[in-house]
Structures are given as structure tokens and as C-alpha cells.
Structure 1
Amino acid sequence: MSDKSVYKVIFFNRSQVYEIFAKAIYQSEMYGFIEVEEFVFGERSNLVVDPGEEKLKSEFADVKRSYIPMQAIIRIDEVEKHGTSKVSDIKASENVATFPFQGGNAPKSDS
């Protein structure tokens, strides 16, 4: 990974789609997770403040490293420079679904 690389990570989180930017991402030693480090947000010197980005900035303010489940990842892009981080609600009309998961609490079929 180059020091100048920036990654755009798009993932599901609580029925919302998060789009964040980070300088370091890699497969975690914890099976099934992607590690995201060195979050990148817009500069505070900008006159226009995006409330969505500010919400994300405060949510990840004290986070050194985030572990995102692989099945929550929609897409990871390496980009030239970071954009605006944002959170979007999933609309009923959008064709977006998470990877099927059957955990220990899922009902079992009789077939």
C-alpha cells in the first residue's frame, strides 16, 4: 500500500449505507472482518460544513481501528483523493440486500 493511497469503503450498518474514506484497509486476523484505519475526513477550514460528514466524523472520532464484517462490505475503491463521507438510508425501492446470514438464533427448517 502506498502512503498516498486513499480508499473509499462503502458498507451496510444498521439499515444504512456508510461511505467513508481511509488510508489503510486490510483483511483482519479476526476471520471474516476487514480492518479500516486512518480515517480521512474533510478539513475544518472549509466554509461549508456537511452535517452528514460531521456526524460520521464524531462517530469515528475516538476510533483507532474499525472491524467491518466482510458480508457488510458493498465495495472498496482505491481513489486519487478523498471525497465527502456520508450516510444514506436504504429506500424500499432500491435493490440493495445484505449477504444472507443464519446465525445461532435463526429458525431451523424442517426439510
Structure 2
Amino acid sequence: MSRRTQELGRFTDVALLILVSLAEGQKHGYRMIGDIEEFSGTSLEPGTLYGALMRLEERRWIEPVESSERRKPYRITECGRDALREQLATLRRIEQAGARRAGPAWGLS
């Protein structure tokens, strides 16, 4: 990411990042943190991640998976998949509107 982009901050929603990570398959928190950083460049603190995991679990968008290990894996539920599809569709509409509106004026089209 360029320095100028870093100065703008990140336009992310932790819940969306978690759902995208879990769409690939079940993961525990530490693995999600690494995956999210890899695909989005966003570095999450454990407290931020686990707070969001609790909220997503309350909404029934994710659920814990039985495990004999110390780490607690999660998976996305069907409701979570629906929420992710809806959010991604919204982001596509926003991206398309941004490209349509800003592109010609800024020579980006």
C-alpha cells in the first residue's frame, strides 16, 4: 500500500473481514488474524477480533466448531453467507458508482 493510501486510513469493517476469511473454511482466531492481514492488509488486534466474533456469534452469522485443541475454531453459517453476499453486492455497487462518478473527472476511466 502506498504511503498516501496509508495516510487515509483503512476502510474496513471487522465483521466483513471475518466473514470473508471464514467463507474459505473454518479457522481459529490467530489464523483469522493472519489471513485477514494477508488478503486485506489490515492488522487486527486480538481484542478487536474477539469482540467482533462474539457479536457475529450472537447474530448467528458464525458458530464455534467442536475441537479437541485449545484454540476455538469458527465457521460461517448460512445466515452469515447470506449477510456476506449482501454486503459484497453493496460494495460492488459502491465501487461501480465511484468509478462512474470519479473516473471521468479524474481521468480514471
Q: If the TM-score is normalised by the length of the shorter chain, which range does it land in?
A: under 0.3
TM-score, with length taken from structure 1: 0.27
- The structure with more strand, counted as a fraction of residues: 1
TM-score, with length taken from structure 2: 0.28
RCO comparison, higher one (Cα < 8 Å, 6+): 1
